[in-house]
Amino acid sequence: MGYDYDKVEVPADGTPIQVVDEDADELDVPENPIVPIIHGDGIGKDVGPAAQKVLEAAANATGRDISWMRVYAGESGREKYDENLPDDTVNAIDEHRVAIKGPLTTPVGAGFRSLNVALRQTLDFYSNVRPTYYLDGVPSPMKAPEEMDMVTFRENTEDVYAGIEWEEGTEEVEQVREFVEDEMGFDDVMHDGPIGIGIKPITEFGSKRLVRKAIDYALEHDRDKVTLVGKGNIMKFTEGQFTEWGMEVAEEEYPDEDVFAAPDSLWEEQDDIDVPENAVMVESRLADAMLQWMQLRTDEFSVLAMPNLNGDYLSDAAGAQIGGLGIAPGANFGDARVLAEPVHGSAPKRAGQNKANPSAMILSGRLMFDYMGWKDAGDLVRDAVEETISSGKVTYDLERHLDDAEKLGTDEYAEAIVDNIETLS
């Protein structure tokens, strides 16, 4: 594609990742790829460089190298370009297909939308993917946190997060109110006085490609179940339709021996369902019930697929079960493109103190490696993080909940992980 960049340079010693087949999600990843990285705002200034150091060590330990391309957004974007999301950054991620970012803070005030959402929508990263698994040694509120091993696929571009809404007191919101009351006949729910109105779009196109991505992931990673999650008993024509379209994907696009669309059933009846051996079962569950089932029947779920807002709530709740968002990784998948990012926010009060836990961004890098086909490097990252934590070498957020742990700063913790990478490799 070959963009011209204004204030960043493409590393001369790296090789660009090439697209083999966008529809098939196939990339040609060299041994020395160029990977754009945004360190991020707030604690991103601490965890970004720490994660970069660890990921580079894992790549080197498996005979590879990464040519990092530093790009900017949020506070660093304003400092360098006087804008939150410069074209250089968008173009770099678009051209090089694989990237990682730290947390970004959206400026307060009307007219500013989430920078994370803007990146996802601009580059069509339509699947927000969050693996949730337990690492030995992490303090958790659950009796058996090790039972959690789940991957959430959250639709990224639609639902209320599409940002189609109107502010109270504006001419636009009154036009929408008038249309809904007079033209559509919903005059009993608008009420008099100030009102804010938003629209919740759920499309067949968006729903099906998200579910397709989740099923493909389950097939590729030997997972036995995909659960479609929505509140379809109440929002029948949005979240209910999401589930129906998702089931159509399972029923119509895959051979029966690979994917089995389960009929609606109660939990007690699931043992009677005859699923073909080694097939992925696709089922549906109500979103509110899932918040309970994730705790009571944790080990019965593997891959979840859901609309945007539900995915935000449920993935955060899942993260709490394995110790909190400080260790919760994530990434955004598109077609032959990935942008890895931790689940947690920027915590500006902790910025620059060398205290923040970089595990979430490091483990997001593991997810990025997996997407690149570098599973060995990704597994090495996971094992080294777990070895470091289980040995009692942790950052302050974990140390305060543990007995006899050694409190490390962000940099020292990253160095400990690098040491374990060298030992384990």
Residue 53 is a catalytic residue: no
- Considering only CA atoms, give the Rg of the chain: 22
223 is an annotated ligand-binding site residue: no
359 is an annotated ligand-binding site residue: no
130 is an annotated ligand-binding site residue: yes
Residue 403 is a catalytic residue: no
Q: Which of 312, 335, 370, 397 is catalytic?
A: 312
Does the predicted TM-score (pTM) go above 0.85? Answer: yes
Q: Which of 101, 225, 231, 355 is catalytic?
A: 231
In the chain the domains, ranked by start, together with CATH numbers, are 1-139+323-425 (3.40.718.10), 141-159+202-321 (3.40.718.10), 165-198 (no CATH)
> Which stretches of 231-307 are DSSP H helices?
239-252, 287-296
Residue 316 is a catalytic residue: no
**Predicted confidence pLDDT, tens digits, the chain (425 residues):** 579 999 999 999 999 999 999 888 899 999 999 999 999 999 999 999 999 999 999 999 999 999 999 999 999 999 999 999 999 999 999 999 999 999 998 766 545 567 888 888 899 999 999 999 999 999 998 999 999 999 999 999 999 988 899 999 999 999 999 999 988 988 777 788 899 999 999 999 999 999 999 999 999 999 999 999 999 999 999 999 999 999 999 999 999 899 999 876 555 566 667 788 889 999 999 999 999 999 999 999 999 999 999 999 999 999 999 988 889 999 999 999 999 999 988 988 888 999 999 999 999 999 999 999 999 999 999 999 999 999 999 999 999 999 999 999 999 999 999 999 999 99
Distance CA 388, CA 384 (A): 6
Structure tokens at 42: 């707030």
- 3-state secondary structure (DSSP) of residue 318: helix
Residue 393 is a catalytic residue: no
76 is an annotated ligand-binding site residue: no
400 is an annotated ligand-binding site residue: yes
116 is an annotated ligand-binding site residue: yes
Q: Which of 134, 161, 254, 371 is catalytic?
A: 161
Residue with tokens 């509140």: 231
Q: Which residues pair with 18 in a beta bridge?
A: 28
Q: Which residues of 158-182 are buried (b: 16+ CB within 10 A; e: fewer)?
A: bbebbeeebeeeeeebeebbeebee
32 is an annotated ligand-binding site residue: no
